[in-house]
Chains A and B, each alone.
Chain A
Amino acid sequence: MNIFRLTADMTHLMSVIVLLLKIHTIKSCAGISLKTQELYAIVFTCRYLDIFTDFISFYNTIMKVIFLWTSFSIVWYMRYHKIVRRSYDKDQDTFRHVFLMLPCLVLALLINERFTFKEVMWTFSFYLEAVAILPQLVLLQRTRNIDNLTGQYIFLLGAYRALYILNWIYRYVTEPNYVHWIPWMSGLVQTLLYGDFFYYYFLSWKNNVKLQLPA
Chain B
Amino acid sequence: VKHDFVKDEL
Residues of A within 8 A of B (CB): 5, 9, 12, 50, 54, 56-57, 60, 63-64, 67, 113, 122, 164, 167, 177, 179-180, 183
Contacts and interface: CB of A to CB of B under 8 A. Distances in A.
Interface of B: 1-3, 5-10
- Is chain A's binding surface mostly helix, strand, loop or mixed? helix
Contact of B8 (A57, A67, A177): A57
A35 B1 CA distance: 38
A63 B7 CA distance: 14
B10 A54 contact: no
A191 B8 CA distance: 21
16 contacts: A9-B10, A54-B7, A56-B6, A56-B7, A56-B8, A60-B8, A60-B10, A63-B10, A64-B10, A113-B5, A164-B9, A167-B9, A177-B1, A179-B1, A180-B3, A180-B5
